[in-house]
């Protein structure tokens, strides 16, 4: 558990004049499920996109299994699998064709690709519906297909942005169960969510983000004990209101107002 | 290579399964063009059909009768003799009878001709409904031909009466036999026939190239923008595949689809042209203007390179578009102004243009397939090889620039959306 899967050091990202990340640092250990939590606009997706080699940081460093995400982007892409928050699949392909297409890009030969597809079929739980075009899928079915795509390749690091976003209770539960199962199989996860109860159930450790900064980090249990809270939602509200960082003053203020409501 | 093959196959499969795209690019040209040709052909056949001619012969002499006889013997003319006291009455009668043309032979027709004066015949085209006027035009042409023939015959009769032994030599003192010189070789075909054979390709080649370029550019832009619109782009960019491979596979997949569409258009156009009877009895190869197999290969390379340039450019533009509709508008705004100037070559040779316009046209890659086709007809390979080199360079540069832009985060953040940049949380 001690080896670092992800190292983020003083990471900063600016979109024009606006700072999306203000120099955040954290580590993810190999094999753990690591949660990045915070409200909309906290910088979760930007952090994950930098780790997925989609965005380049303005300053600071991010490494995945020791490889810099900027200098070794193509090598990083070989060990990660990224599931964006708002993702789709090719509508004119059948579910099974989509899985096969993705598997062939990761596997060196057809045999390995078929093994991946078999795993994908199992993860998706879509059965015969995999023979239908993606265009006919519900949101929950598409999300399961995408999660199956992300995990069937057995990545060293799975980066999942709001994996259960917008899903009903049953689908969200199934997806969380799949993540837990694959964590036990050795896949490291970094998961973002604004659903703090979900993260509490899923994650070994979390960072609390607000307005591009990290407010606090630790295991859900330790954080709840530290803030004398019953759940991570309370932890987040107390952490953001009690902090002293001048940069997050505005968000803390809005958080306290929210709490008063 | 495996990644390229997998991505290109997916691209092609995705395009081929798009029913709207297949319908618009393949089915419509294969069905619509031949149908259009058939309808136009029907219209033309109707115009070329029998001309109904009503004749009022007010002349009692022999020449009036001769004109009626000549008209009656003319092909595609159906003659009806009517009697009327005035021209107005005759027109009314002819119109009621559904005649196309009314010929009025005046009372002094024979008298004037007998006294070696010019006689007049009035020809009225009767328009009963609004149309293209082609039928009336054709009818008038037929009557004029008959009058011309009659003029010649009367002149010969008069000359004979004057004791001239060989009147034809006086009526037609000069007889011209036309030949054409093609690629330095004399061919026994009049220049008008060669021109007719050349004119069919003068219009069709630029048109087909234009359609192919604009269609494939729209497809490429649509394919790229659809990745954004359908939220598949971010996943695609994190796959263990180089960005150049992604761009190249998209270019290849779209180019193949574009070639399928171009083929459908060419077949459709062929039937359209065939139905219009624009074929001439003279084929280009029979007058030494065929393209050799090596020339065909060169032409295919030129077309392929022009398409690659078009596709790369379209993808580069589509990178900045947020959705398929914006991409389509942006691509039209850039590609159409580049493709339109080649239309000038429908009417003239590039060498007839001022030097500055000529070089400007040659700087545009889309001009090359048209110019090179003509060069290959004339057997000028050196120009085409230079053309291939230029197009290779410009296609590679555009492909490289597109792949470079694709490698940056601009592909995710630079979106034309009222000048704002997208904000990720």
User: Between residues B238 and B212, which one has the greater pLDDT?
Assistant: B238
| pLDDT (0 to 100) of residue B280 | 53
Strand partners, B53: B79, B101
pLDDT tens for each residue of B23-37:
877 787 788 878 877
Same domain (yes/no): B318, B380: yes
Query: Is 0.95 surpassed by the pTM of this model?
Result: no
- Determine the pLDDT at residue A21: 93
Indicate whether B31 belongs to any domain.
yes
- Tokens read off for A237: 């509200």
pLDDT band at A65 (very low <50, low <70, confident <90, very high): very high
Residue B285 pLDDT exceeds 80: no
Considering the domain architecture, whether residues B240 and B373 belong to the same structural domain is answered as yes
pLDDT in tens, B228-256: 888 888 899 999 988 888 888 888 888 88
ipTM for the whole predicted complex goes beyond 0.95: no
**Minimum-distance CB partner of B424 among A16, A46, A78:** A46
Q: Which of B7, B10, B234 sits opposite A54 (nearest CB)?
A: B234
B395 and B308 together in one domain: yes
Chain A residue numbers touching B242 (CB-CB < 8 A): 74
**Gap between the Cα atoms of A22 and B205, Å rounded:** 59
**Residues B394 and B275 grouped into a single domain:** yes
Phi, psi of B242 (to 5 degrees): -70, 150
Q: Is B74 helix (H, G, I), strand (E, B) or coil?
A: coil
Maximum CA extent, chain B: 107
Mean pLDDT of A209-221: 90
Mean model confidence pLDDT for chain A = 86
Residues in chain B closer than 8 A to A18 (CB atoms)? 423
- Asked if B241 is an interface residue toward chain A (Cβ–Cβ < 8 A), one would say yes
Q: What percent of chain A has pLDDT over 70?
A: 92
Within a domain: residue B238?
yes
- Is B139 in the same domain as B217? no
The superfamily CATH assigns to domain A4-260 is: P-loop containing nucleotide triphosphate hydrolases (3.40.50.300)
Determine contact, residues A50/A62, Cβ cutoff 8 Å. Answer: yes
Give the model confidence (pLDDT) of B55-78 as tens digits.
999 888 888 888 888 888 888 788
Of A78-82, B160-164, B416-420, the range with the lowest mean pLDDT is: B416-420
Are residues A49 and B7, on separate chains, in Cβ contact within 8 Å?
no
Same domain? For B240 and B353 the reply is yes
Residues in Cβ contact with A253 at an 8 Å cutoff, skipping those fewer than 6 apart: none
- The burial of A131, by beta-carbon neighbours within 10 Å (0-12 exposed, 13-18 middle, 19 or more buried), is given as exposed
Structural domain contains residue B422: no
Number of domains in chain B: 2
The Cα-based distances of A186 to A189, A191, B145, B219, B287 in angstroms read: 9, 15, 95, 43, 76
Which residues in chain A have Cβ-Cβ distances shorter than 8 Å to B324?
none
pLDDT band at B134 (very low <50, low <70, confident <90, very high): low
Q: State whether B230 and A88 contact (CB < 8 Å).
A: yes
Nearest CA in chain B to A70: B408
In a domain, B184, yes or no: no
Q: Decide if pLDDT at A59 tops 80.
A: yes
pLDDT of residue B281: 60
Task: Check if A77 contacts B (Cβ < 8 Å).
Answer: yes
Q: Which of A88, A101, A149 faces B6 most closely, judged by CB atoms?
A: A101
C-alpha closest to that of A50 among A30, A31, A24: A24
Report the gap between the CA of A220 and the closest CA in chain B (Å): 23
Residues B379 and B234 in one domain: yes
Domain end position, chosen among B175, B200, B225: B175
Instruction: Out of A45, A55, A92, name the one closest to residue B425 (CB).
Output: A45
pLDDT digits (tens, 9 = 90+) for A143-167: 999 999 999 999 999 999 988 877 7
Distances (CA, A) of A23 to A10, A13, B408: 4, 8, 22
Q: How many CB pairs under 8 A join A and B?
A: 92
Could you list the residue range(s) of the whole structural domain that residue B168 is in? 49-175
Sheet holding B122-125, edge to edge: B77-81, B51-57, B101-105, B122-125
> A104 CA to chain B: closest CA distance, Å?
7
Percent of chain A clearing pLDDT 90 (strictly above)? 54
Q: Which of B175, B206, B226 is the last residue of a domain?
A: B175
Q: Is residue B162 part of a domain?
A: yes
Q: Is residue B418 part of a domain?
A: no
Q: How far is CA A235 from CA A192, A226, B229, B267, in A?
A: 17, 8, 37, 70
Three-class SS state of A35 = strand
Q: Would you state the pLDDT for residue B416?
A: 63
Mean pLDDT to the nearest integer, B118-133:
76
Residues B363 and B380 in one domain: yes
Residue B180 falls within a domain, yes or no?
no
> Are A89 and B232 in contact (CB < 8 Å)?
yes
B175, B203, B233 - which closes a domain: B175
Inform me whether the C-beta atom of residue B18 falls under 8 Å from chain A C-beta atoms.
yes
Q: Residue B203 pLDDT > 80, yes or no? A: no
Burial grade of A108 (CB within 10 A; 0-12, 13-18, 19 or more): exposed
The structural domains of chain A, with segments of one domain joined by +, span 4-260
Q: Are residues B36 and B54 in the same domain?
A: no
Reported as a single tens digit per residue, the pLDDT across A85-120 is 888 888 889 999 999 999 999 987 888 999 999 999
In a domain, B163, yes or no: yes
Residue B143 to residue B108: CA distance in whole angstroms = 20
Considering the domain architecture, whether residues B159 and B67 belong to the same structural domain is answered as: yes
Q: Which residues of B touch A132 (CB under 8 A)?
A: none
Task: Encode A37-62: b = buried (16+ Cβ within 10 Å), e = exposed.
Answer: bbbebbbbbbbbbbbbbbbebeebeb
Is A91 in Cβ contact with B231 (below 8 Å)?
A: no
Give the residue among A13, A230, A231, A229 at the shortest CA–CA distance from A242: A229
State how far the Cα of B135 lies from the Cα of B40, in Å rounded to an integer.
Answer: 14
**A54: chain B residues, CB-CB within 8 Å:** 234, 237-238, 409, 412
Structure tokens of B402? 């597109």
Within this chain, do residues B293 and B328 fall inside the same structural domain, yes or no?
Answer: yes
* Confidence at residue A66, expressed as pLDDT on a 0 to 100 scale: 92
Structure tokens at B273: 């042209």
Distance, CA of A38 to CA of A194 (rounded, Å)? 5
pLDDT higher than 90, residue A48: yes
DSSP string, A62-130: EEETTEETTTTHHHHHHHEEEE-SS----TTSBHHHHHHHHHHHH-SSHHHHHHHHHHHHHHH--GGGG
B224 and B151 both lie in a single domain: no
In the DSSP assignment, the letter for residue B416 is B
Asked if A238 and A232 count as a contact pair (C-beta separation under 8 A), the reply is: no
Q: What's the CATH number where B115 sits?
A: 3.40.1710.10
With beta carbons less than 8 A apart as the criterion, state whether B367 and B350 touch. yes
Residue A5 clears pLDDT 60, i.e. is over it: yes
Distance CA B104, CA B122 (A): 5
DSSP B24: I
């Amino acid at each position: 558990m001690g080896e670092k899967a992800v190292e983020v050091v003083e990471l900063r990202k600016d979109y024009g004049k606006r700072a999306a990340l203000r120099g955040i640092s954290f580590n993810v250990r190999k094999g753990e499920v690591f949660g990045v939590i915070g409200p909309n606009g906290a910088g979760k997706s930007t952090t994950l996109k930098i780790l997925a080699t989609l965005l380049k940081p303005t300053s600071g460093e991010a490494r995945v299994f020791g490889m810099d995400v900027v200098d070794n982007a193509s090598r990083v892409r070989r060990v990660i699998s990224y599931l964006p928050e708002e993702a789709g699949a090719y509508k004119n392909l059948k579910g099974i064709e989509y899985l096969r297409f993705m598997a062939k890009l990761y596997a060196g030969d057809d045999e390995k690709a078929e093994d991946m597809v078999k795993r994908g079929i199992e993860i998706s739980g879509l059965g015969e519906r995999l023979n239908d075009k993606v265009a006919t899928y519900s949101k929950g079915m598409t999300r399961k297909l995408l999660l199956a795509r992300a995990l069937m390749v057995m990545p060293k690091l799975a980066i999942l942005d709001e994996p259960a976003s917008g899903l009903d209770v049953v689908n969200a539960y199934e997806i969380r169960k799949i993540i837990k199962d694959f964590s036990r199989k050795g896949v490291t996860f970094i998961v973002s969510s604004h659903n703090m109860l979900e993260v509490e159930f899923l994650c070994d450790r979390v960072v609390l983000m607000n307005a591009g900064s990290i407010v606090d980090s630790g295991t859900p249990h330790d954080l709840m004990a530290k803030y004398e809270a019953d759940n991570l939602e309370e932890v987040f509200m107390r952490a953001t209101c009690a902090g002293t960082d001048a940069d997050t003053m505005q968000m803390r203020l809005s958080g306290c107002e929210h709490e008063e409501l | 290579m495996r990644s390229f093959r997998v991505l290109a196959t997916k691209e092609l499969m995705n395009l081929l399964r798009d029913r709207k795209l297949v319908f618009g690019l393949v089915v419509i040209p294969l069905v619509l063009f031949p149908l259009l040709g058939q309808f136009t052909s029907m219209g033309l056949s109707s115009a070329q059909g029998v001309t109904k001619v009503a004749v009022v012969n007010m002349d009692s002499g022999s020449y009036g009768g001769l004109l009626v006889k000549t008209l009656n013997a003319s092909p595609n003319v159906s003659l009806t003799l009517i009697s009327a006291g005035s021209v107005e009455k005759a027109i009314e009668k002819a119109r009621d009878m559904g005649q196309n043309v009314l010929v009025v032979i005046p009372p002094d027709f024979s008298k004037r001709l007998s006294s070696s004066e010019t006689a007049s015949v009035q020809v009225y085209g009767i328009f009963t409904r609004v149309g293209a006027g082609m039928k009336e035009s054709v009818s008038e042409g037929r009557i004029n031909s008959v009058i011309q023939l009659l003029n010649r015959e009367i002149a010969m009769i008069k000359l004979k009466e004057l004791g001239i032994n060989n009147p034809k030599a006086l009526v037609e003192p000069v007889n011209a036999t036309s030949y054409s010189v093609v690629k330095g070789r004399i061919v026994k075909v009049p220049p008008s026939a060669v021109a007719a054979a050349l004119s069919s390709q003068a219009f069709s080649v630029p048109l087909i190239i234009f359609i192919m370029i604009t269609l494939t550019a729209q497809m490429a832009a649509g394919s790229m923008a659809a990745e954004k619109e359908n939220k598949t782009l971010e996943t695609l960019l994190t796959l263990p595949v180089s960005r150049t491979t992604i761009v190249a596979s998209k270019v290849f997949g779209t180019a193949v689809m574009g070639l399928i569409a171009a083929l459908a258009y060419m077949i459709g156009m062929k039937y359209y042209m065939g139905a219009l009877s624009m074929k001439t009895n003279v084929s280009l190869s029979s007058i030494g203007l065929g393209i050799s197999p090596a020339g065909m290969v060169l032409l295919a390379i030129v077309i392929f390179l022009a398409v690659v340039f078009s596709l790369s450019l379209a993808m580069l533009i589509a990178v900045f578009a947020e959705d398929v509709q914006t991409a389509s508008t942006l691509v039209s705004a850039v590609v159409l102004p580049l493709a339109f100037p080649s239309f000038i070559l429908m009417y003239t040779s590039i060498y007839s243009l001022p030097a500055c316009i000529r070089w400007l046209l040659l700087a545009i890659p889309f001009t090359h397939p048209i110019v090179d086709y003509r060069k290959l007809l004339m057997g000028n390979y050196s120009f085409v090889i230079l053309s291939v080199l230029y197009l290779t360079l410009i296609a590679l540069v555009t492909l490289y620039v597109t792949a470079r832009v694709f490698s940056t985060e601009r592909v995710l953040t630079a979106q034309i959306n009222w000048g704002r940049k997208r904000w990720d949380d």
